[in-house]
Each structure stands twice: as structure tokens, then as C-alpha cells.
């Protein structure tokens, strides 16, 4: 009840937040962010085996603004929500306007040919540890791996491994693809498509075990639920990356 009372006080004091950003495609943007956000968060909780977000600490990699808006405006109980994104304007806006200690937002200038072509790869592998982002109950990514080539997905899976024991993410999956295909070369990474086997190999390199795979459903693509495997020694990790996917 404490979290709910706190959230209600914040909402009454500051009013609902209305971020001036839309990162969703037209089909999803036709619905309010709170509608799609609550459906996706409820699905995440159900598939992770949680009754709700109450008491949970959630790390949202590639956060955009939807879940922050949903959790805040709908007064959803949560212990901590941390969003990290390569969009500097969105992170700056959230930091300025979401004045609630349960929320934290971090900017990561990670290069991506679609969203952040001017970004950098320097220091990215250790960025989460440098920011002190650990001890979360789960990390999630919605529409992130959908726009990453394999070499960047590899890095992201490894980055998130020390942060939480569970991982939930969505991806374009087509087992007719031989490992990976960028389905629309005219718009690089718009449709970054993987075979399920290749995704499993990338996850295994970062010590993630696939617990379950869910077929595309309302407002989301194929979804993966993963658990952290016991960490291998540093020599094994280096050797695995040197050999590459098998």
C-alpha cells in the first residue's frame, strides 16, 4: 500500500506525464501508450511467473517512454523502474519530468545504424557495471533486438547478464532464415530477422538459458524468457567469443 499511496501523491502533485515522443509504428500508436503499455507489462509479469510488478525492480533496455508513462500515470506499484536508451532527448525529458524516486533513467550513446548512427562502441561492454546497474529482478527489451545485427545483439546480451537473473525480450524470428537476415536493405535494421537457433547460440555465449519462447501476440513479436546460467570462467568466455557461434 505504501507504494500506491506514494504514487497517488505524486500524481496529484504533478499530474500525469505526457512525453512528446512516439517511437511506435502506426498500428501500435493508434492506441494510447497506457493501453499498450499495460498489456505488455501484464504479459511480461505473467510469463516471468510474477503476480504483478509490486516489489519488483525492472531494468528496461531501449526503454523509450511508454513504460515510464504507463507505470506513472496508471499508478502501478513497482519497487524500481530503470530505463536506459540511446535517445538523449527522451532520457533528458524523463529525468526532468518524472519526479519520483522509484524511477531512474540513463543515457547510453551506443551506436546503432537505425536509431543512433553517430553513437560509439567505446566502453559500451562495461557501461552497465559503470552505471551500477545490477540487482534487478529482470531486464527487458521490447523492439530492441528487432533492430540489431548479431554482433550488437551479442554485446547487449552480455551487457545485461550481470544486471539481473531473468531476461525478457522480443525479436523477429523466422526459422526459414539461415541464422540472420536484414530483411529490408533499403532501411537497414528495420527488420533484423533471426533464426531461433541463432538467437539461442548468441544467448548461450552470454550465459543465458532460454526457458520459454512465446509466439507473436497482441502488440508484441516472438518473445523469449531467459534465466541466467552459472557464470563461466573468464578464459572460457574469451575463448567462446574468439570461436564465435557454432
**For the chain, how far is it from start to end, CA to CA, in angstroms?**
50
| Measured distance CA(85)–CA(29) in Å, rounded | 19
Question: CB-based burial of residue 241 (10 Å sphere; 0-12 exposed, 13-18 middle, 19+ buried)?
Answer: middle
Taking alpha carbons only, the member of 128, 120, 145 closest to residue 196 is 145
- Residue 169's nearest CA partner among 160, 178, 177 is 160
pTM of the model: 0.87
Domain assignment of residue 229, given as a range? 2-243
Whole-angstrom Cα distance, residue 213 to residue 51? Answer: 20
Model pLDDT, residue 246: 40
Beta strands in the chain (DSSP E): 57-61, 80-85, 103-107, 138-141, 166-173, 180-182, 192-194, 208-214, 222-228
Residue 12 pLDDT: 56
Question: What was the pLDDT predicted at 238?
Answer: 40
Question: What 3-state class would DSSP assign to 200?
Answer: helix
Predicted pLDDT at 28: 78
What CATH number should be reported for the domain holding residue 118?
3.40.50.150
Positions in the chain whose pLDDT score sits under 70: 1-14, 232-246
182 φ/ψ angles, rounded to the nearest 5 degrees: -90, 100
pLDDT tens digits, 16-50: 999 988 877 777 777 899 999 999 999 999 999 99
Is 154 in contact with 124 (CB distance < 8 Å)? no
Q: How many domains does the chain have?
A: 1
Amino acid at each position: 500500500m505504501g507504494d500506491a499511496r506514494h504514487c497517488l501523491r505524486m500524481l496529484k502533485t504533478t499530474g500525469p506525464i505526457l512525453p512528446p515522443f512516439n517511437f511506435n509504428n502506426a498500428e501500435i500508436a493508434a492506441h494510447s501508450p497506457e493501453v499498450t503499455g499495460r498489456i505488455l507489462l501484464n504479459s511480461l509479469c505473467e510469463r516471468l511467473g510474477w503476480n504483478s510488478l509490486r516489489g519488483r525492480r525492472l531494468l528496461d533496455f531501449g526503454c523509450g517512454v511508454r513504460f515510464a508513462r504507463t507505470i506513472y500515470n496508471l499508478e502501478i506499484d513497482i519497487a524500481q523502474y530503470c530505463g536506459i536508451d540511446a535517445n538523449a532527448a527522451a532520457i533528458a525529458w524523463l529525468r526532468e519530468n518524472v519526479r519520483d524516486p522509484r524511477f531512474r533513467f540513463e543515457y547510453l550513446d551506443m551506436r546503432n545504424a537505425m536509431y543512433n548512427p553517430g553513437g560509439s562502441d567505446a566502453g559500451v561492454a562495461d557501461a552497465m557495471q559503470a552505471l551500477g546497474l545490477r540487482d534487478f529482478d529482470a531486464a527487458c527489451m521490447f523492439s530492441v533486438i528487432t533492430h540489431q545485427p548479431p554482433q550488437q545483439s551479442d554485446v547487449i546480451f552480455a551487457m545485461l547478464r550481470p544486471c539481473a537473473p531473468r531476461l525478457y525480450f522480443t525479436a523477429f524470428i523466422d526459422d526459414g532464415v539461415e541464422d540472420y537476415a536484414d530483411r529490408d536493405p533499403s532501411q537497414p535494421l528495420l527488420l533484423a530477422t533471426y533464426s531461433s537457433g541463432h538467437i539461442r547460440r548468441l544467448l548461450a555465449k552470454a550465459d543465458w538459458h532460454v526457458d520459454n519462447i512465446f509466439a507473436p501476440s497482441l502488440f508484441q513479436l516472438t518473445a523469449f524468457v531467459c534465466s541466467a546460467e552459472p557464470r563461466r570462467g573468464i578464459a572460457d568466455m574469451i575463448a567462446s567469443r574468439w570461436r564465435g557461434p557454432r
